[in-house]
Amino acid sequence: MKIAVVSDSHDDRARFRQATLQAKENGAEAILHCGDIVAPSTLMESKAAGLPVHAIHGNNTGDLVMMSHVTNRPDSHLNYYGQDAELELHSRKIFLVHYPHYARAMARTGEYDIVCYGHDHHYHEEWLANMTGNKTLLLNPGSVAGLDGPASFMMLDLDTMSVQKKLVE
């Protein structure tokens, strides 16, 4: 199973939409958003790709009441979790959080196979040693809006645990 990881869309609806379409073209079956969506309507741009979206809010929260209204409905492809999220996809335990320090701490626990974060707008991938003696994949896709660098996201293959950086075209 392949998934796309995005973060820090900051209401750049066009780039977020393009990233979701590129993700689908690259075989993604789901999209994880690591926060700073801002307006809930930004998430609606993912409808064109027709993929389930799992999202948290970050520090630029926008209207959280409306976020709850447009997500988490039986007919919605959008899943909103609040400040952080614990997911299991394709037998991989995944933790989503916006902040780098929180992400690094959660990766070190060894409770997750993958920890994804955003906030600083810089692409990062690292196998981090954890307390169990194994390693956790720590990922930041950069900013899909192109803040502080090229607009980017990542594709993650949950079978091979391989990561590919993608630029929004």
pLDDT tens for residues 104-114? Answer: 999 999 999 99
Cβ neighbours of residue 12 closer than 8 Å, sequence gap 6 or more = 42, 144, 145, 146, 151
Q: Which domain holds residue 34?
A: 2-167
What does the DSSP 8-state code read for residue 57?
Answer: -
How far, in Å, CA of 129 to CA of 126, rounded? Answer: 9
Strands across the sheet containing 114-116: 84-89, 92-97, 114-116, 135-141, 123-129
- Average pLDDT score over residue span 50-74: 82
Domains in the chain, number: 1
Predicted TM-score (pTM) of this structure:
0.94
At 66, which CATH number? 3.60.21.10
Please tell me the total number of residues recorded for the chain in this structure: 169
pLDDT of residue 107: 99
pLDDT, averaged across the chain: 94
